[in-house]
């Protein structure tokens, strides 16, 4: 080929090229290529699948739908079919997705060494735990904060098999078990709030943090339609206009921890007006109430005016389906007294079996786990105090789904117990205050990553049961603690009867008579069955425990789930919802009314020191008439020394102020009536 031939050939090829797609397509594609750099991450193009799940982070157990794309959770939506969610998404349920990739998550098993934590394998972690447990037989203790899960059965069976002690974290569920036990009942207390036409909340922050608050809030919303007349009256009695009181039809100012006394005062008025109950122990109840709960006395003790008390009693008596729900203002520390007194009042109102029911507890399916009541019998507060003070020994202390080093009274002593125990194991998903102190961390998978179940939280309307299955790929090298403990039991030569936690859940479904395939799809099982056993009213008028501490002001801790719970720190997504009346910069804000501030010699915006029986904290003062006179309100949820950048070092932990006292009548520690002193810092 000579030059001319080549040029002719090229001319032909060029002419041909013009009628091929090459120049036009390449130009087009090159422009698209520059808009879609191949190395940029792409949004996964998979099915958006809404899987049903019951939130384990939300103490009210609300069911939600998790939007899943290609094994990744991308959002949370309400589930109108779930009896505890009713279509709402609570802050904590929303956090189920947001916290999956939290920087605070423990990413693999960690072993504490002289220089800090080091990552180890699961096999190593299980070998270490097995060794420690076999050496510590007789001095093993485990604390669980999971009030609704069957995992407790595995833990209790394992600990019992090692002659150890099993404890549940204190809270409303433990209070309810103790109250029912003292009154001769067994099971769980259920409130039929859906059908109540008059609801009185005594202390219980039931639309925000107490019981099945997500469901309660939905029912409140249904009974209070916008622009129309309310179909039920809601009244809140407590020291602070909290998230429950602020929407209720009436807020009655009552001192912290006054629920039982107010309930007994109402009972007294009703009985004076002729109310009777065909119940065991009624005579004794009536006599004790008549002796100690005259309206004037109740007014002195609780701050609830006698005329207001009489008016509420009249309204309760006139209502068709009244309902009284009592508890601690911050969900713990009230002991059993408030619940017993409110059950007595509900009986007098003729609502036992109507607005209030006793429903069966979860049936045990793991051999050696004992009954639910047995697992709730022991009080963890004196045990941890004993460990901190060296009185009680714990060669191995295991903590599941709880953060006792942060979320209990006398926080420093509780944290010290973690340090004093010979070997502490945390199963926390997050690097919380307890995990930070542990010798070994074996991180639990989060709700959307694991098999788990949820049986009837305290205050639900009926027995409910939900099963969760792994919906998303595990974000990190975590495992389901229940499965880990089954494996450890097997290594110890113990046969708990199940190879996997999933098998336990299947057995539970069978015992309940629920459809496994339906549960597995996220559908909740419910049962209308209720106990017809009569409760003994005699213990309902148990004497009040004296206020704890010598301060001039009553302390009202306030829980808002957007600031976190006693287990989980503030979810990052709610950081923007924190108000400057709760946190100023990184300083906790406490609230009191103008009269209290004047009496205490402090001014709005001033930094003060609060001194309680459990410890001290500094805070800024905000003057608000949403707090009753003589009370200082302190938000719980701040002051973390662990977790992530959103929570660590932000504010101070009000749990530090609290101290617990023994209640000899019930055997449970109480800390809902603490007093504090305030001074300019």
Partner 1 sequence: MVKKASSSGGALPFFVGFVAMLFVGWWVFPQALFSKAEQPIRFSHVIHVDDGGMSCEDCHYFNDDGSFSGIPNTESCAECHSDVMGEDPAEEQFVNEYVNEEKEVEWLVYQDQPDNVFFSHAAHQDKDCTTCHPNMSENDTPPTHYKNVLTGYSNGGYKIVFGRGVGVDPAYSRGTMKMWECERCHAENGQSNACYVCHR
Rounded CA-CA distance 254/267 in Å is: 17
- Residue 11 binds to partner 1 (criterion: CB under 8 A): yes
Q: For residue 199, give both structure tokens.
A: 């609801």
> 43 or 528, CB closer to partner 1?
43
DSSP states of 313-356:
HHHHHH-SSEEEEE--TTSSS-TTHHHHHHHHHHHHTT-BTTTE
- Smallest separation (angstroms) from partner 1 to the CB of 481: 21
Q: Which of 27, 36, 278, 532 binds partner 1 (CB under 8 A)?
A: 36
C-beta closer to partner 1: residue 93 or 396:
93
Q: In what order do the strands lie in the sheet with 140-144?
A: 116-119, 110-113, 440-441, 424-426, 396-400, 140-144, 165-168
Angle at 662 between CA 656 and CA 663, to 5 degrees: 125
> In the complex, what is the shortest distance from the CB of residue 506 to partner 1, in angstroms, rounded to a whole number?
15
* Nearest to 460, CA basis, from 356, 312, 566: 356
Output the smallest distance, CB 503 to partner 1, in A: 16
39 belongs to the binding site for partner 1 (CB under 8 A) = no
Candidates 59, 60, 65, 221; binder of partner 1 (CB under 8 A) is 65
Which ranges of 224-257 does DSSP label H, i.e. alpha helix?
none
Between residues 26 and 276, which has the closer beta carbon with respect to partner 1?
Answer: 26
Q: Which of 27, 35, 278, 532 binds partner 1 (CB under 8 A)?
A: 35
Q: Using the rule CB under 8 A, which residue among 13, 119, 586, 679 binds partner 1?
A: 13
CA 50 to chain CA centroid, nearest Å: 25
Contact indicator for 336, 182 with CB cutoff of 8 Å? yes
Give the Cα separation of 537 and 281 in Å (integer). 5
* Residue with Cβ nearer partner 1 (13 or 594): 13
CB of 93 to partner 1, least distance (A): 16
Which residue number, 33 or 320, has a Cβ lying nearer to partner 1?
33
Residue 27 makes contact with partner 1 by CB under 8 A: no
Please say which residue, 6 or 607, places its beta carbon nearer to partner 1.
6
User: How many residues form the binding site for partner 1 (CB under 8 A)?
Assistant: 44
Measured from the Cβ of residue 536, the count of other Cβ atoms closer than 10 Å reads 18
| Segment interacting with partner 1 (CB under 8 A) among 12-20, 113-121, 447-455, 537-545 | 12-20
Q: Counting contacts by CB under 8 A, is residue 46 touching partner 1? A: yes
Nearest-approach distance from CB 85 to partner 1, in angstroms: 13
Contact residue for partner 1 among 27, 43, 114, 546 (CB under 8 A): 43
Of the pair 409, 522, the CB lying nearest partner 1 is at 522
Cα–Cα distance between 73 and 76 in angstroms, integer? Answer: 8
Shortest separation between residue 527's beta carbon and partner 1, angstroms: 25
One character per residue 391-420, x = contact with partner 1 (rule: CB under 8 A): ------------------------------
CA 497 to chain centroid: 30
Site for partner 1 in 83-122 (CB under 8 A): none
Residue from 32, 114, 229, 528 in contact with partner 1 (CB under 8 A) = 32
| Angle at CA of residue 105, ends 99 and 106, nearest 5° | 155
CB 346 within 8 A of CB 323: yes
Task: Kindly give, in sequence order, each residue whose CB lies less than 8 Å from that of residue 416, ignoring residues fewer than 6 positions away.
Answer: 388
In the three-class reduction of DSSP (H, G, I as helix; E, B as strand; rest coil), residue 422 is classed as coil
Among 33, 231, 296, 604, binds partner 1 (CB under 8 A): 33
Q: Is 517 helix (H, G, I), strand (E, B) or coil?
A: helix
**Any contact of residue 67 with partner 1 (CB under 8 A)?**
yes
Look up residue 672 and give its two tokens. 């809902």
Residue 46 vs 595, nearer CB to partner 1: 46
């Amino acid at each position: 080929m000579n030059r001319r031939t080549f040029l002719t050939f090229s001319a032909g090829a060029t002419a041909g090229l013009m009628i091929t797609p090459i120049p036009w397509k390449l130009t087009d594609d090159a422009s698209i290529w520059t808009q879609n750099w191949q190395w940029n991450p792409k949004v996964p193009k998979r099915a958006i699948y809404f899987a049903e799940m019951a939130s384990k982070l939300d103490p009210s157990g609300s069911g939600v739908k998790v939007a899943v794309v290609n094994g990744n959770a991308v959002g949370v939506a309400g589930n109108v079919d779930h009896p505890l969610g009713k279509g709402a998404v609570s802050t904590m349920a929303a956090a189920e997705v947001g916290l999956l990739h939290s920087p605070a998550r423990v990413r693999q098993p960690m072993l504490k060494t002289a220089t800090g934590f080091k990552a180890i394998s699961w096999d190593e972690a299980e070998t270490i735990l097995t060794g420690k447990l076999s050496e510590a037989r007789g001095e093993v203790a485990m604390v669980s904060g999971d009030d609704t899960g069957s995992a407790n059965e595995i833990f209790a069976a394992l600990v019992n098999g090692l002659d150890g002690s099993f404890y549940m974290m204190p809270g409303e569920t433990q209070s309810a078990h103790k109250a029912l036990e003292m009154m001769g009942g067994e099971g769980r207390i259920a409130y039929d709030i859906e059908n109540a036409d008059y609801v009185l909340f005594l202390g219980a922050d039931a639309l925000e943090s107490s019981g099945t608050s997500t469901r309660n809030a939905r029912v409140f919303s249904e009974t209070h339609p916008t622009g129309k007349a309310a179909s039920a009256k809601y009244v809140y009695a407590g020291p602070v206009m909290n998230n429950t009181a602020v929407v209720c039809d009436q807020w009655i100012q009552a001192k912290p921890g006054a629920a039982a006394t107010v309930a007994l005062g109402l009972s007294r008025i009703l009985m004076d007006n002729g109310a009777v109950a065909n119940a065991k122990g009624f005579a004794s109840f009536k006599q004790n109430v008549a002796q100690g709960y005259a309206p004037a006395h109740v007014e002195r003790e609780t701050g609830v005016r006698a005329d207001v008390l009489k008016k509420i009693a009249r309204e309760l008596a006139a209502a068709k389906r009244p309902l009284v729900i009592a508890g601690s203002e911050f969900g713990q520390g009230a002991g059993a007294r408030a619940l017993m007194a409110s059950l007595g009042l509900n009986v007098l109102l003729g609502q036992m079996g109507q607005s209030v029911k006793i429903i069966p507890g979860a049936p045990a399916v793991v051999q050696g786990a004992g009954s639910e009541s047995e697992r709730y019998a022991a009080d963890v507060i004196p045990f941890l105090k004993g460990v901190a003070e060296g009185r009680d020994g714990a060669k191995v202390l295991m903590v599941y789904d709880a953060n006792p080093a942060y979320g209990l009274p006398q926080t420093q002593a509780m944290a010290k117990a973690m340090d004093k125990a010979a070997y502490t194991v945390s199963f926390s998903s997050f690097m919380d205050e307890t995990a930070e102190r542990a010798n070994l961390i074996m991180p639990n998978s989060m709700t959307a990553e694991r098999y788990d179940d949820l049986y009837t939280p305290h205050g639900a309307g009926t027995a409910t049961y939900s099963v969760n299955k792994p919906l998303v790929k595990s974000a990190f090298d975590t495992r389901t603690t229940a499965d880990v403990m089954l494996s450890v039991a097997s290594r110890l030569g113990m046969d708990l009867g199940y190879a996997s936690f999933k098998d336990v859940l299947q057995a539970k479904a069978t015992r309940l008579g629920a459809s496994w395939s339906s549960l597995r799809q996220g559908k909740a099982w419910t049962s209308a069955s209720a106990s017809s056993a009569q409760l003994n009213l005699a213990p309902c008028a148990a004497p009040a425990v004296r206020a704890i501490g010598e301060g001039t002001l009553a302390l009202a801790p306030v829980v808002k789930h957007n600031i976190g719970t006693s287990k989980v720190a503030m979810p990052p997504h709610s950081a923007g919802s924190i108000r400057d009346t709760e946190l100023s910069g990184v300083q906790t804000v406490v609230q009191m009314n103008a009269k209290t501030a004047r009496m205490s010699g402090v001014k709005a915006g001033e930094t003060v020191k609060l001194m309680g029986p459990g410890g001290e904290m500094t805070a800024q003062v905000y003057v608000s008439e949403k707090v009753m006179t003589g009370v200082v309100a302190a938000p719980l949820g701040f002051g973390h020394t662990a977790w992530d950048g959103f929570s660590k070092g932000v504010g101070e932990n009000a749990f530090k102020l609290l101290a617990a006292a023994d209640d000899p009548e019930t055997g449970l520690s109480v800390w809902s009536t603490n007093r504090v002193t305030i001074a300019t810092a």
